[in-house]
A and B are shown apart, each in its own frame.
Chain A
């Protein structure tokens, strides 16, 4: 199982590396946008709160969400290329296939977040030590959550058009509701009630909690774990229960 997972993961890295345009664009755009949005976040930040942290966490969540379709593509392309049946006809397990697909995505999403928090530290003086071990754990969970959501979309949707529409609209809604695009404090009050329904909210909230020494951090971790597992289960159900439907 481990060996098969490693083989699939390596091949997924090859495929991601052959078509890196979207990921490079998201990385550059997020990096620039954080610089541009930083003053806005500073102005909207609550007294005593860090505008830099809001800018970094908001941008990181926003652009990993935008990369949902990159994750979905990893499964959808397999069906377009007819390679999914070849993989299924091999002796590799479905679990190894899914994990092998997810691992490189998790690494990519983790790297994107690391770059943004690194930039915030280097450019705007964000004290990463304030997040201690909680920040990397939260970033890892968020990366797993987005990879899992993307693979679920790729497993259930049957065309690139549908994937693009659902991923883009879903990402925009989640970005808006989660406070990643604009801090919740600057939005109408009824938004605050809806925000916890989105995983993005828990990612933003969790990062800020990580720097506040833990208040609300556990809830954010639990919420992200729950969404990751639910999305993963959806992908597994589609692949195991209806493997032949194209």
Chain B
């Protein structure tokens, strides 16, 4: 549904994209993660037809990015607020929905539906400039969803959003993916990707350096078992906690517990932590840094 291959984009001496490959299928939510400047926004701008790649191509639902067909098949909510502050939320939605090809009755219906889904009903007739940051964020995401595009590009849609707003946004994104949309979801809040059951694409240095499901990418990453003692932990170098890093942290903890002997009476707690997306990201990023060094 969204297919980017071998994208290269330079801004002067900087290679913002350097062989960027990504395929997102219909019904899939792909979490695009990476540090600032990794190339996520540049990719989004090329997919939306705002910038042209120096080489490579992006297909949006089968159409070359930048053309009329591709632009009518994509819904984009950029990172920064991009709404008319003096116009009401309804007027903003009407403009972007109208330009996406929605006619009168259908436009009204879609506005009502997306407003209900995102808790905007009471805000529709207020100027956007009078809304809070989180409310504006909801309106902005709604403008991308209105015409039910087959491809959605949501660039950090929950930044500055309160928990209620975040939940509403995530619910709508999940629903759109279930309807068959390919969703490319950029975020720094990794737990959101678990809630969305998203696949992951880790971006660094202008390319996707890891791609797969969460389970695939986490396999082999060390988890942690932390054993806390009254007084110094055996073999802990004077510290009260013994930290064991292992791909199978529970088994590793059981092995250590079996060898504790009299020290077992000083044991105060055992905490097992499975590897998280944060660990994955740190692991990949440090690997990249090591290679760069």
Taking Cβ atoms with an 8 Å cutoff, the residues of A that contact B are: 4, 7-8, 11, 14-15, 18-19, 81-83, 85-92, 243-244
Those 10 A-B pairs whose CB atoms lie nearest each other, nearest first = A82-B82, A18-B86, A91-B72, A89-B48, A7-B98, A90-B99, A91-B71, A11-B95, A92-B99, A86-B82
- Interface size for B (C-beta < 8 A) is 30
B189 part of interface (Cβ distance < 8 Å) = no
B133 part of interface (Cβ distance < 8 Å) = no
Instruction: Name the one of A7, A11, A88 contacting B49, with C-beta atoms under 8 angstroms.
Output: A88
Taking Cβ atoms with an 8 Å cutoff, the residues of B that contact A are: 45, 48-51, 68-69, 71-72, 74, 76, 78, 80-87, 91, 94-96, 98-101, 127, 143
Q: Which residues of A contact B91 (CB under 8 A)?
A: 11, 14
Q: Do A87 and B99 touch (CB < 8 A)? A: yes
Q: Which residues of B contact A82 (CB under 8 A)?
A: 78, 80-82
Q: Which residues of A contact B99 (CB under 8 A)?
A: 4, 7-8, 87, 90-92
Q: Do B81 and A89 touch (CB < 8 A)? A: no
Closest to B77 in A: A86
Closest to B143 in A: A86
**Chain B min CB distance to A154 (Å):** 16
Q: Do A86 and B86 touch (CB < 8 A)? A: no
Closest to B73 in A: A91
**Chain B min CB distance to A90 (Å):** 4
Q: Do B71 and A89 touch (CB < 8 A)? A: yes
New A-B pairs, 13, CB < 8 Å, besides A7-B99, A81-B84, A92-B99: A7-B95, A7-B98, A11-B84, A15-B86, A81-B82, A82-B80, A83-B83, A85-B45, A86-B76, A86-B96, A89-B74, A91-B71, A91-B100
State A4–B82 Cα separation when bound (angstroms).
19
Q: Which residues of B contact A87 (CB under 8 A)?
A: 99
State A128–B24 Cα separation when bound (angstroms).
66
**Chain A min CB distance to B46 (Å):** 11
State A4–B98 Cα separation when bound (angstroms).
8
Q: Do B84 and A244 touch (CB < 8 A)? A: no
- What are 8 A-B contacts defined by CB distance under 8 Å? A7-B98, A8-B95, A11-B87, A11-B91, A14-B91, A83-B83, A86-B96, A91-B101
**Chain A min CB distance to B161 (Å):** 18
Instruction: Name the one of B45, B48, B87 contacting A18, with C-beta atoms under 8 angstroms.
Output: B87
Q: Which residues of B contact A88 (CB under 8 A)?
A: 49-50
Closest to B153 in A: A89
State A4–B102 Cα separation when bound (angstroms).
11
**Chain B min CB distance to A156 (Å):** 19
State A39–B140 Cα separation when bound (angstroms).
55
Query: Max chain A CB contacts within 10 Å: which of B72, B76, B85, B99?
Result: B99
Q: Which residues of B contact A81 (CB under 8 A)?
A: 82-85
Closest to A84 in B: B82
Closest to A85 in B: B50
Instruction: Name the one of B50, B84, B86, B98 contacting A89, with C-beta atoms under 8 angstroms.
Output: B50
